[in-house]
Amino acid sequence: MPERRDVVIIGGGHNGLVTAFYLAKAGFKPLVLERRAQPGGAAITEEFHPGFRCSILAHVAGPIRPDIVRDMQLEKQGLKLITPEIGVVSLSPTGRALLLYNDARKSAQEIGKFSQKDAAKYPEFQDSLGKMGRVIGKALTLAPPNIDDPSKGDLWGMLQTGRAIRKLGKKDMYRLLRWGPMAVADLVADFFETELLRATIAARGIFGTFFGPWSAGSSLVLLIRAAGDEHPAGSAFFAAGGIGSVTQAMAAAAKQAGAEIRSSAEVIEVRVKDGAATSVVLSTGEEISAKAIISNADPKRTLLKLVDPTHLTPDFVMKLQHYRTPGTVAKVNLALSGLPKFTALNGSTDALSGRIHIGPEIDYLERAFDDSKYGNFSRQPYLEIAIPSLTDPSLAPPGKHVMSIYVQYAPFKLKNSDWESQRVALGDTVVKTIAQYAPNLPELILTHQIITPQDLEDTYGLTGGHIFHGELALDQFFTMRPLLDWARYRTPIQNLYLCGSGTHPGAGLTGGSGANAAREILKGLKK
Euclidean distance between CA atoms 525 and 495, whole angstroms = 9
Residue percentage of the chain with pLDDT more than 70: 100
Euclidean distance between CA atoms 434 and 357, whole angstroms = 10
Query: Which residue type does 228 have?
Result: G
**What pLDDT score does 2 carry?**
80
Query: Across all residues in the chain, what is the average pLDDT?
Result: 95
Burial string for 9-36 (b: 16+ CB within 10 Å, else e) reads: bbbbbbbbbbbbbbbbbbebebbbbbbb
Domain residue extents for the chain:
3-43+66-80+243-322+465-526
Q: Give the list of residues 6+ apart from residue 384 with CB closer than 8 angstroms, or none.
A: 203, 207, 355, 356, 357, 358, 405, 406, 408
Q: What is the pTM of this model?
A: 0.96
180 touches 217 (CB < 8 A): yes
Q: How many CB atoms lie within 10 A of CB 187?
A: 25
Euclidean distance between CA atoms 373 and 369, whole angstroms = 6
Confidence bin at 1 (pLDDT 50/70/90)? low
Q: Is residue 399 exposed (0-12), middle (13-18) or buried (19+ Cβ within 10 Å)?
A: exposed
Residues in the chain: 527
Reported as a single tens digit per residue, the pLDDT across 78-127 is 999 999 999 999 999 999 999 999 999 999 999 999 999 999 999 999 99
Euclidean distance between CA atoms 522 and 20, whole angstroms = 11
Query: Which residue type does 524 have?
Result: G
Helix, strand or coil for residue 341?
A: coil
394 touches 323 (CB < 8 A): no
Closest by CA to 465, choosing from 285, 326, 265, is 326
**What pLDDT score does 286 carry?**
96
Reported as a single tens digit per residue, the pLDDT across 373-384 is 999 999 999 999
What is the fold, at CATH topology level, of the domain defined by 3-43+66-80+243-322+465-526? Answer: FAD/NAD(P)-binding domain (3.50.50)
Reported as a single tens digit per residue, the pLDDT across 417-454 is 999 999 999 999 999 999 999 999 999 999 999 999 99
Closest by CA to 108, choosing from 123, 91, 126, is 123
- Min mean pLDDT across 4-13, 163-172, 277-286, 334-343 is at 163-172
